[in-house]
Amino acid sequence: MKKSFYVIIILLLALSSARAEEDLFAKARKRMVEADLKGRDITDPAVLSVMGKVPRQLFVARELQKSAYNDHPLPIAEGQTISQPYIVALMTQVLKLKPTEKVLEIGTGSGYQAAVLAEITDKVYTIEIRKPLAEEASVRLKELGYKDVKIKNADGYFGWEEYAPFDAIIVTAAANHIPPPLIKQLKDGGRLIIPLGSTTYYQTLTLVTKIKGDDLRVEHITSVAFVPMTGEVQKKR
């Protein structure tokens, strides 16, 4: 009798501490949306709502969780990084993704950006070149309920022919040129966002809109620093 009493007390304490931790993350997420997103130029209500929803702390290692909502990128496994929340929001905002549209991500990493996209549309395809990251993200996304996200371990340079064409493509690794297969797999009226430029220094976040066929509109959004895209892209130019 006495023993079970203590067990119940310990369980209640553990529950309340888990709850307190959740509250802290929710508070930090709210601050991030208000100060770092709304406080800058993130105005799309859908993007703000999604960024206020996805539990970013569950995409990083336990010891980094307390920094999950800070205004900077965070390391993930394999020497890669998860972008600053503002950059995730900005890239999502410029894509102007509609709930009926199909989107391809190159560079799954932790799966955080894929989860953000999956809150907007259930047609999310994502490619990761590093097998351990692809496997980890696949498990994580399933556990968190993002069951419709399709992940492939491959070089994203070649896109994902099987599911092409896409309404939007988001490349989350830096490249010195746009992989031609990605332009090809974009629908007319489709948008592609990519950090373009030197892969050892800064890049320009570049938005490409495929007006029709080879007719492209190119817009420069802002300066960014991403980890390099590897594989085929490094053999060309």
Chain center to CA of 43: 18
Residue among 191, 43, 42, 184 at smallest CA distance from 103: 191
Nearer to ligand SAH, 224 or 229 (CB): 229
Strand partners, 237: none
Strand partners, 171: 106
In this structure, the dihedral spanned by the alpha carbons of residues 63, 66, 71 and 73, taken in order and rounded to 10 degrees, is 20
Chain center to CA of 202: 19
CB-based contact 128:153 (threshold 8 Å) = yes
Cis peptide before 165 (omega within 30 of 0): yes
Local structure of residue 65 (DSSP, 8 states)? G
What does the block give as tokens for 183? 């332009």
Nearer to ligand SAH, 44 or 128 (CB): 128
Nearer to ligand SAH, 147 or 217 (CB): 147
Active-site pick, 16, 83, 198, 223: 83
Residue among 12, 46, 23 at smallest CA distance from 121: 46
Distance, CA of 79 to CA of 60 (rounded, Å): 13
Nearer to ligand SAH, 122 or 155 (CB): 155
CB-based contact 82:73 (threshold 8 Å) = yes
CB of 78 to ligand SAH, least distance (A): 6
CB of 7 to ligand SAH, least distance (A): 39
CB of 13 to ligand SAH, least distance (A): 34
CB of 34 to ligand SAH, least distance (A): 22
Local structure of residue 76 (DSSP, 8 states)? -
Whether 138 sits among the annotated catalytic residues: the reply is no
Residue pointed to by tokens 């259930």 = 122
The residue ranges that bind ligand SAH (CB under 6 A) are 80-83, 106-107, 109-110, 112-113, 127-130, 133, 155-157, 172-173, 227, 229-231, 233
CB of 87 to ligand SAH, least distance (A): 10
Nearer to ligand SAH, 23 or 135 (CB): 135
Q: Which residues are catalytic?
A: 83
